Structure 1
Amino acid sequence: MAGFLSSWPWENLGKYKYLLCGPVVAKVLYSRMEEGTFKEDWCFHISILFAVRVFHHLFWSSFSNMLFLMPDRRINHQGYDFKQIDKEWDWDNFLILQALIASMACCLFPTFLESIPLWSTKGLVTVMILHVAISEPLYYWVHRCLHRNKYLFTHHHSVKHCSPVLHPFTAANVTFLESLLVTAIIGIPILGSCVMGYGARSAIYGYVLVFDFLRCLGHCNVEIVPHQPFQTLPFLRYLISTPTYHELHHKEMDTNFCLFMPLYDAAWKTLNSKSWELHKKIRSSAGKEERVPVPDFVFLAHMVDISAAMHAPFVWRTYASFPYTMRVLALLGWPITFVITMMMWAWANTFLISCYNLRTKLFETWAVPRLGFQYFLPFAKEGINHHIEDAILRADQLGVKVISLAALNKNEALNGGGTLFVDKHRDLKVRVVHGNTLTAAVILHEIPTDVKEVFLTGATSKLGRAIALYLCRRRVRVLMLTLSTERFQKIQKEAPQDCQNYLVQVTKYQAARNCKTWIVGKWITPREQSWAPPGAHFHQFVVPPILPFRRDCTYGDLAAMRLPDDAQGLGSCEYTMDRGVVHACHAGGVVHLLEGWTHHEVGAIDVDRIDLVWNAAMKHGLKPVSSSVTEQQES
């Protein structure tokens, strides 16, 4: 049973809750049209303050997810998972509540509010005094009461402590009752200064924004407050709280109850004795490699395009927590993203996107600051390989065990599927893996066992070759679409003598007009798809996926696998993949690590290892995403 005032009144409205602020915005627009000014309209100030506070929290959210910025100053190295993101989805409820309360106050006391000046030095001083003398101790006792009373904690405060990693949204993720209490605490200095005749608009703006700033700072999970001032001026320890201070409160919940000033914790003997020592330890070890846990596995990704770059967790974590789709709001951020991307190209460095934990092992995703089209520019080849090589050497230096190359980073024409780096650096300790063996296995296990003939495009590519050789061993006739007789014959000679006749070279799509199983490794147009017979199924390993043009045919997804259920810290989706699903090549690197294999997986795919890698993936709890694979396993 839910506690009294534990749920929000507009909980069932979903995204329509923002319509509650509609009257405030309507009043602003009406004033503009009728009076031609915003200056004396308090609804205008409420709207501006609401927008600024939203962007302020979003900025702190981005900062907290920028794992590449200050990895050595992070307090908790665990990632934000989907569960926490979903729980903190409605973090902005408190902003709506405070905007509604402020607008009601404007309606009740319009004349009084209009008399408040823009600036007042006494107003600023009064707000500070009232905060220190009333708001801080009041928050301390309210907060302490919420912890000490079992009913209040369970129904009104525990929701905040359910988040395993502190985030700016964690501070705002509270129940309706707690938000009312915090609103009252914020309102005391503002209302008090106005009643005393010292109110000022600048003081109201300043106090609210500083209040938000300090709350977000305390919950950002990055220790950015230097420790030197605390050593030089010890009394500052009692006046300024740090992210470490708030982190300790979430770990040891009977300590550190204060809002921003540890003074009251010290006065009432609830100050955690480790607060300043841990703060100093984190700050002093900044820049030292031992401060950052070394990942066992790194997936070296790359940006696809400008819009997809906005899907990174540090841009908008709620957006990144769902499969990538182009949205109208994302278009608004396109110019800014374009400029930042240009700056990243100039900076030309790899950066950390996300990390997650799988069976107590640390996994990370790095990215090369290049967009998809750049991989096909001849003059960009050397520069891209330089960045990939630099990432591999950096991983080797850190002690990473496996680094897996994504899609274009292992392009055969670019670096021979990673062979270039392995041949150049013979003493690499890190294992370089392209993961395509598992990709081939996923595609092959999608094909029903009773299929006798397939049509294969991209037949002489790395994956196409492996698929063709594997299928011919199963006595499946493979129509290999290629204009190069030399490359076809080279692959055909690799097949066992008694299986070579199952590989057939074709040069036109018309040759597949009676074949219902198409394996697409090269992008095909709707016109080329028209040669497939009705009822045909298109398996594919081409990026981007082909357009589902034929309504009388079915289309498979790109090869992908779902990570085990015990994977922790997952908080973002890999491009268009669902939650917990990664591309098969990514999963192939994970399997390589979990099996402890010591060889490099680069260059051509070893057909003899396809079943071995597949069985290893099944053993470790990875699951195929394709429904056709699942149906075959169940049967």
Structure 2
Amino acid sequence: MMINDFNSFKIFRFHSLHHTQFRTNYSLFMPFYDFMYGTMDKSSDVLYEKSLTRPEESPDVVHLTHLTTPNSIYHIRLGFASVASKPYISKWYLRLMWPLTSSYMMLIWICSRTFVLERNHFNKLKSQTWVIPKYRVQYFLKWQNEPINSLIEEAILHAEERGVKVLSLGLLNQASYYSFTFLGEELNLYGKLYIHLNPKLKIKVVDGSSLAVAVVLNSIPKGTTQVLFRGKLSKVAYFTAIALCQKGIQVTTFCEEEHKKIKMKLNTKLGDKLALSKNYAHKIWLVGDGLTEEEQLKAPKGTLFIPFSQFPPKRMRKDCFYHTTPAMMSPTSFENMDSCEVSQ
């Protein structure tokens, strides 16, 4: 089961009549006063019921993401635009709203259904963003793997039924934890699990790795001859390392395990482009989850940190430079966007 429209609350349709019947339905958020003073339009209930009977729009593309932190509920349309625009920066007033945040968490836990966050149009392409009602921390709990995979598979099958052509797995819905040994096996092999379980699927399930690799490569300054890899390796990390070696850029690590894993992915002809370093003197760091604060402090002044993971490292240095996670600007023709994907 899935909640088809997170935004179809009667209260938000109430005020729309005011724009045609301007002497009624003045209230935007508190229709109680229109009831009290007799300015409620008599056709309000009829209009609302008619709006519910409209045919459901079938998107061409669905992006399947999830909640990140408890405060990420305020990144959506019912939240605050200022919070959504800076999802990694904590606001002091959100602490005062913790009772409301806790209520949201309880509601999400009780419902536990994927919901539609946004409906967008990109020229003639119709897209929607669906949200798995799980927080980031839950993806790191082994006993949550099965419930999460069930929700993702259910969403894929629902999208198939509605004629969706492409479904992209966002954030940790695409995760394959090569380095999180406490999780055991990978979560879903970047969507391959669902294709294996449902071999007759017509919908294309993608993870956006190729595009993320392109963004990371484009973030590396021209003329760079050497980069340092650090953090838990992922599909994006491996393909980025391969692409850099093919371009003649030396890839180094100071962790022997990471060095072995990257070497296994490389063609033997590119082996000389991979090195094991014993110092922190590199100025370009490609980083993933697992980069420690201590390691950041050892980086030389002016180091550029470029994340290849879904979430950026904590900024510990004011004398260094930090890129955002792999992302691109939305074109002006992309309509109705209210929240980011980390909403990345």
TM-score (norm 2): 0.82
Question: SS where residue 64 of structure 2 aligns?
Answer: strand
Question: SS where residue 75 of structure 2 aligns?
Answer: coil
Contact 1:67/1:354 (CA < 8 Å) preserved in 2?
Answer: no
Q: How does 1:422-441 map to 2 (within 5 A)?
A: 422-441=195-214
Q: Does 1:242 align with 2:44?
A: yes
> Who is 2:287 aligned against?
520
- Greater shift in the superposed pair: 369-378 or 511-520: 511-520
Alpha-carbon offset, residue 308 of structure 1: 1.3
Q: Does 1:403 align with 2:176?
A: no
Question: SS where residue 561 of structure 1 aligns?
Answer: coil
Distance in 1, matches of 2:319 and 2:124, equals: 46
Question: Do the aligned partners of residues 346 and 243 (structure 1) sit closer, same or farther apart at CA in structure 2, a change above 3 Å counting?
Answer: closer
Q: Does 1:463 align with 2:239?
A: no
Letter matched to residue 495 of structure 1: L
Q: Does 1:503 align with 2:274?
A: yes
> Who is 2:329 aligned against?
562
Deviations 1:503-530 (A, max 9, x none): 1235xxxx34221111111332332112
The one of 320, 345, 348 aligned to 2:112: 348
Distance in 2, matches of 1:463 and 1:213, equals: 60
The one of 48, 63, 67 aligned to 1:303: 67
Alpha-carbon offset, residue 243 of structure 1: 7.0
> Who is 2:180 aligned against?
none
Deviations 1:217-276 (A, max 9, x none): x7xxxxxxxxxxxxxxxxxxxxx2237769xxxxxxxxxxxxxxxxxxxxxxxxxxxxxx
RMSD: 3.5
Distance in 2, matches of 1:489 and 1:569, equals: 46
Q: Does 1:478 align with 2:251?
A: yes
Question: Do the aligned partners of residues 563 and 243 (structure 1) sit closer, same or farther apart at CA in structure 2, a change above 3 Å counting?
Answer: farther
> Who is 1:534 aligned against?
301
Structure with bigger strand share is: 2
Question: SS where residue 562 of structure 1 aligns?
Answer: coil
Contact 1:317/1:572 (CA < 8 Å) preserved in 2?
Answer: no
Letter matched to residue 138 of structure 2: Q
> Who is 1:571 aligned against?
338
Max Rg structure? 1
Question: Do the aligned partners of residues 459 and 343 (structure 1) sit closer, same or farther apart at CA in structure 2, a change above 3 Å counting?
Answer: closer
Structure with bigger helix share is: 1
TM-score (norm 1): 0.47
Q: How does 1:91-130 map to 2 (within 5 A)?
A: none
Deviations 1:366-385 (A, max 9, x none): 11111111111111111111
Question: Do the aligned partners of residues 547 and 393 (structure 1) sit closer, same or farther apart at CA in structure 2, a change above 3 Å counting?
Answer: same
Letter matched to residue 68 of structure 1: D
Q: How does 1:172-571 map to 2 (within 5 A)?
A: 208-210=33-35, 240-242=42-44, 285=53, 291-313=55-77, 315-316=78-79, 318=81, 322-324=85-87, 325-412=89-176, 413-458=186-231, 460-484=233-257, 488-489=259-260, 491-506=262-277, 511-571=278-338
Letter matched to residue 210 of structure 1: F
Deviations 1:53-84 (A, max 9, x none): xxxxxxxxxxxxx962586x99xxxxxxxxxx
Contact 2:139/2:172 (CA < 8 Å) preserved in 1?
Answer: yes
Q: Does 1:68 align with 2:5?
A: yes
Unpaired runs of 5+ in structure 2? 177-185
Question: SS where residue 116 of structure 2 aligns?
Answer: strand
Q: How does 1:155-170 map to 2 (within 5 A)?
A: none
Contact 1:512/1:532 (CA < 8 Å) preserved in 2?
Answer: no
Question: SS where residue 290 of structure 2 aligns?
Answer: coil
Deviations 1:252-303 (A, max 9, x none): xxxxxxxxxxxxxxxxxxxxxxxxxxx76x56x46xxxx1110111111111
Question: Do the aligned partners of residues 523 and 329 (structure 1) sit closer, same or farther apart at CA in structure 2, a change above 3 Å counting?
Answer: same
Letter matched to residue 369 of structure 1: P
Higher relative contact order (CA 8 A, sep 6+): 2
Contact 1:458/1:482 (CA < 8 Å) preserved in 2?
Answer: no
